[in-house]
């Protein structure tokens, strides 16, 4: 009996081992997450200039998402990262859903852009994207760049104070142009095409060789021109009328 019980016990153990063996030898389930990680998009660097006439601040939206809230008139933001892609860029006057303007633009990775909000001659807002080129001024020179967003104004030229020969000439509305100058220039004049009268004076310049200085020309409600100066760091230098 004892022998029979022992044999029976061994038989049950053998059966149990055989039953468990396939489970032990079976490959373990792969618990690794096979979902690919979302790709990290490259970014462009973008700054915004509020050259509108509105007393209320404006908001900037990118593809319906607010990215720059309540930027006051004549203010310039620092450069910030925006995904490198085609975007619908929209300007909205804070608290006025009917006052808005849009521009569709493709932003390239690692490149710089200046978005300018302005007021059109009929009082409605406008917004436009300008590509900040990466080229450097000639050796020992500074670069003056003019952006013309004064709706209704003629072509514009940039002159050294009192000078007859222009630094820049024939800059059309919603366009831009640039030229290299001697850093010793201390004052500029903005004149309308064919006119000797100075529309805007830009005094007390402090130019540095190797830098680019952007001048945005906009119009007030009375259509007089004013200038907003920027340098290539994206910091505001001031508004001049």
* Residue keyed to tokens 């910091």: 235
pLDDT higher than threshold 90 for residue 165 = yes
Q: How many structural domains comprise the chain? A: 2
Residue bearing the bigger pLDDT, 21 or 66? 66
pLDDT digits (tens, 9 = 90+) for 203-239: 989 999 999 999 999 999 898 999 999 976 443 444 5
Cα 159 from Cα 144, distance rounded (Å): 11
Partners of 239 in the beta sheet?
A: 228
- If asked whether residues 229 and 147 sit together in one domain, one would say yes
- If asked whether residues 61 and 95 sit together in one domain, one would say yes
Residue bearing the bigger pLDDT, 174 or 21? 174
pLDDT higher than threshold 90 for residue 108 = yes
pLDDT digits (tens, 9 = 90+) for 4-54: 444 444 444 444 444 444 434 434 444 344 444 433 469 999 999 999 999
Identify the domain boundary among 134, 151, 166: 134
CATH code for position 88: 2.60.40.2890
Q: Could you tell me which of 190, 172, 69 has the C-alpha nearest to residue 128?
A: 172
Percent of the chain's residues with pLDDT above 90? 68
* Residue keyed to tokens 């002159």: 159
Sign of CA dihedral 122, 123, 124, 125: positive
pLDDT higher than threshold 60 for residue 68 = yes
- If asked whether residues 111 and 169 sit together in one domain, one would say no
């Amino acid at each position: 009996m004892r022998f029979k019980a022992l044999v029976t016990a061994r038989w049950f153990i053998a059966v149990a081992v055989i039953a468990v063996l396939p489970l032990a030898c079976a490959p373990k389930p792969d618990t690794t997450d096979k979902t690919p990680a979302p790709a990290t998009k490259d970014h462009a660097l973008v700054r915004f200039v509020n050259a509108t006439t509105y007393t209320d601040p404006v908001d900037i939206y990118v593809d319906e998402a607010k990215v720059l809230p309540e930027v006051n008139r004549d203010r310039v933001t620092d450069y910030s990262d925006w995904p490198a892609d085609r975007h619908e860029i929209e300007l909205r006057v804070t608290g006025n859903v009917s006052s808005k303007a849009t521009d569709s633009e493709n932003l390239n990775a690692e490149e710089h852009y200046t978005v300018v909000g302005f007021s059109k001659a009929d009082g409605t807002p406008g917004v436009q994207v300008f590509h900040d080129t990466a080229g450097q001024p000639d050796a020992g020179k500074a670069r003056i760049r003019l952006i013309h967003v004064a709706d209704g104004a003629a072509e514009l030229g940039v002159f050294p104070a009192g000078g007859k020969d222009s630094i820049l000439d024939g800059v059309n509305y919603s366009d831009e142009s640039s030229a290299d100058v001697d850093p010793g220039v201390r004052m500029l004049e903005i004149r309308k095409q064919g006119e000797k009268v100075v529309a805007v004076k830009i005094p007390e310049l402090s130019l540095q060789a190797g830098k680019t200085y952007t001048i945005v020309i906009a119009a007030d409600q009375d259509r007089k021109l004013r200038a907003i100066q920027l340098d290539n760091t994206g910091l505001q230098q001031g508004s001049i009328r």
